[in-house]
Amino acid sequence: MGRLVVVSNRVALPRRGEPTAGGLAVALKDVLKANGGLWFGWSGETLKGPTTGEVKAVRYQGIDYATTDLNETDYKGFYAGYSNNILWPLFHFRLGLLEYDRKQAAAYRRVNRDFAKALMPLLAPDDVIWIHDYQLIPMGAELRALGARQRIGFFLHIPFPPWAVFSALPGADMLLRDLLAYDLVGVQTKRDLAGLVNCMQDGLELDIDAGHGVTATNGGIQRRTQLSAHAIGIDTRSFATTARKAAFGPDAQRMKASMGDRQLIVGAERLDYTKGLPHRLRGFAALLANFPEHLNRVTYLQVAARSRNEVASYRDLRRELDQLAGRINGDYAEFDWSPVRYVARAVARDTLAGFYRAADVGLVTPLRDGMNLVAKEYVAAQDPTNPGVLILSSFAGAAETMDGALLVNPLDPEAMAEQLDRALKMPLEERRDRWSSMMRGLEEQTASRWAENFLAELEEQTLPAEPPAAWTAPAAVRN
């Protein structure tokens, strides 16, 4: 394989002494180092005036990083607008929150085109390009329109809905056609693959071959796009080591001292309406109401780092969580016990690892999720001799393979309460059996294995013999 070029919406330029990155970043950095790679994307900086298209480059630990800026108008339209107000709720089946705006749609296309123009001069003929996530769906088509003939893969890290949901998006067919510029399109789960296949069949009326490939013609050139599911993992051994060390750190020790002999339930993610956080609090309230033997015997710690404060639905969610946590504490707290500890700010990853290891129950209940790596991190963090229990939403992608979890529908608070009661009372032998089964899966399907498998499949794809610039993006979105 030639040089790997990874493209993501945001690229944080490395700095000496910064904290350890998460599993996905580690996996991508490892594969970039192995292939002498380039990581390209938005710098995170916004400019007052027009963008210049300037690319900032730096080399660090064998990887080249290249970033470009956005101006404030494009940031609001491309990122805060179309990506977060339109695509995010659409892909998570939340049509009632979708706020379509043509100017934002135009900004989304324009930024993808500008990114392609900025990346194109940096490419070599034998490069392999790997584009990530919903912010950059059209970028492959824009690169093809500029004459890119390299292998280009795309991976979606969030769910892919069926056509019945996807068709609510104005211009849905154009976004689907953008995917046909790629040689390989990857999603997280079999369920997401079924949604993608359904969109190609019902939305574009294309046939899917026996190998999950779809062939389409553009500019007189036929291109076959492979559709595939690749479940992402974590750096399992590294995270287990981090948790083992963090358990003896000051934060975990303070947590244990404050708990006394009470059991601990933990949940941790950023504040987002897809995570089922209000449903989780209602389920915990139902536990205290229906199983009073747990009163003053269990504490629920929820970390929900604030995000996207500029979006009204996120501000509404924060208010709802504040009210629910306050109500539960008001109804059930004792002078020496608060049933809910709600932290609405970011907590260091190492500290969370120590909390996971100390927790008797990991509560992960998204309403819809592409995978959910918190569930995997909770399992990896456990003490093998005395592991906790994972309660997992059946709507999380991780539910397809984590057979040792207790599955729950987050829309049913009574059922969640029953599973919480079961987890808190589960015998040690059953906990060990469930944990061992999941841990074996995590050790087999790591983040590095996910990256290797995707790139190996991308390398297997047959490229068409086409002249440069044969591909054209959908006519309605060109200047």
Strands 221-229 and 4-10: unpaired
- Provide the H-helix boundaries in 302-369: 312-332, 349-358
Residue 399 CA to its chain's centroid (Å):
15
Q: How far is CA 473 from CA 51, 69, 440, in A?
A: 23, 23, 44
Annotated catalytic residue within 114, 127, 183, 369: 369
- Provide the H-helix boundaries in 247-311: 250-259, 277-290
Using CA atoms, how far apart are residues 178 and 152, in angstroms rounded to an integer?
12
The CA R_g of the chain, rounded to the nearest whole Å, is 23
Tokens found for residue 14: 């490395």
Q: Nearest Cα to 110, choosing from 67, 132, 81?
A: 81
What is the CB-side half-sphere exposure of residue 210 using CA atoms within 13 A? 0
> Could you confirm whether 279 is annotated as catalytic?
no
Using CA atoms, how far apart are residues 190 and 168, in angstroms rounded to an integer?
22
Annotated catalytic residue within 92, 132, 157, 294: 157
Using CA atoms, how far apart are residues 37 and 27, in angstroms rounded to an integer?
13
Buried b (16+ CB within 10 A) or exposed e, 382-419: beeeebbbbbbbebbbbbbbbebbbbbbbeebeebbbb
Q: Is the Cβ–Cβ distance between 240 and 380 less than 8 Å? A: yes
> Could you confirm whether 294 is annotated as catalytic?
no
Q: Nearest Cα to 283, choosing from 372, 413, 377?
A: 413
Using CA atoms, how far apart are residues 479 and 464, in angstroms rounded to an integer?
27
Q: Nearest Cα to 378, choosing from 414, 415, 423?
A: 423
Determine how many CB atoms are found less than 10 A away from the CB of residue 55. Answer: 15
The catalytic residues are: 157, 369
